[in-house]
């Protein structure tokens, strides 16, 4: 297995090492879906062939809604916090300093449509992502990064050699 490209000491720059996993910016709605229940979304997020990355602030934003998540899935708040922490351990969470210089460019791409999506696009620019994993149609307004939904990722990643299904 070939090594995965890493963000180097000067945050935001990839090495020339070839990636073997999809580097996908993963937005809050995907992480919330994975927190809500043991689902395809959670399974894909925890698979080794997806390398999820997100702005660090996403976890704090989701934490603000942990009681709503608990009301929806009927699990105690503490269980949902544990699940969110587990998921966060599988996501490369970038601090603002890693993508700050890309915020204006990201704003120009999507900010007029939805300013809350700007940090995700800035992260995508900073790490030269393979795409954005989201259920948010606003990301389709930009054409720099491929937008993936969970069904598309499942279709791509759950196929074994020769097109057969495999897990």
Provide the domain count of the chain: 1
Supply the CATH number for residue 94's domain: 3.40.50.1010
In DSSP terms, 24 is beta-bridged to 52, 131
> pTM higher than 0.75 for the full model?
yes
Domain that holds residue 66: 22-159
Would you state the pLDDT for residue 117?
94
Q: Is residue 164 one of the residues assigned to a domain?
A: no
Q: Is residue 127 one of the residues assigned to a domain?
A: yes
In DSSP terms, 131 is beta-bridged to 24
Would you state the pLDDT for residue 111?
80
Q: Is residue 13 one of the residues assigned to a domain?
A: no
Q: Is residue 147 one of the residues assigned to a domain?
A: yes
Q: Is residue 39 one of the residues assigned to a domain?
A: yes
- The H or E element containing residue 141 is none
Burial code (b: 16+ CB inside 10 Å, e: under 16) for 9-36 equals eeebebeeeebebbbbbbbbebbbbbbb
Would you state the pLDDT for residue 158?
80
How many Cβ atoms are within 10 Å of 137's Cβ, its own excluded? 11
Q: Is residue 61 one of the residues assigned to a domain?
A: yes
Q: Is residue 8 one of the residues assigned to a domain?
A: no
Would you state the pLDDT for residue 164?
40
* pLDDT tens across the length of the chain (167 residues): 333 333 333 333 344 444 468 999 999 999 999 999 999 999 999 988 899 999 999 999 999 999 999 999 999 999 999 999 999 999 999 999 999 999 999 999 998 889 999 999 999 999 999 999 999 999 998 999 999 999 999 998 887 544 444 43
Would you state the pLDDT for residue 20?
63
């Amino acid at each position: 297995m070939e090594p995965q490209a890493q963000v180097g000491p000067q945050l935001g720059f990839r090495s020339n090492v070839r990636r073997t996993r999809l580097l996908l910016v993963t937005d809050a709605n995907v992480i919330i879906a994975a927190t809500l229940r043991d689902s395809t979304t959670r399974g894909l997020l925890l698979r080794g062939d997806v390398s999820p990355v997100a702005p660090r602030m996403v976890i704090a934003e989701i934490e603000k809604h942990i009681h709503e998540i608990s009301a929806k899935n009927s699990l105690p708040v503490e269980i949902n916090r544990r699940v969110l922490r587990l998921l966060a351990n599988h996501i490369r969470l970038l601090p603002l300093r890693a993508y700050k210089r890309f915020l204006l460019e990201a704003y120009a791409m999507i900010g007029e449509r939805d300013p809350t999506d700007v940090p995700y696009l800035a992260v995508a620019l900073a790490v030269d992502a393979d795409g954005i994993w989201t259920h948010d149609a606003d990301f389709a307004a930009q054409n720099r990064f491929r937008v993936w939904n969970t069904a598309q990722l499942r279709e791509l990643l759950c196929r074994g050699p020769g097109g057969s299904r495999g897990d």
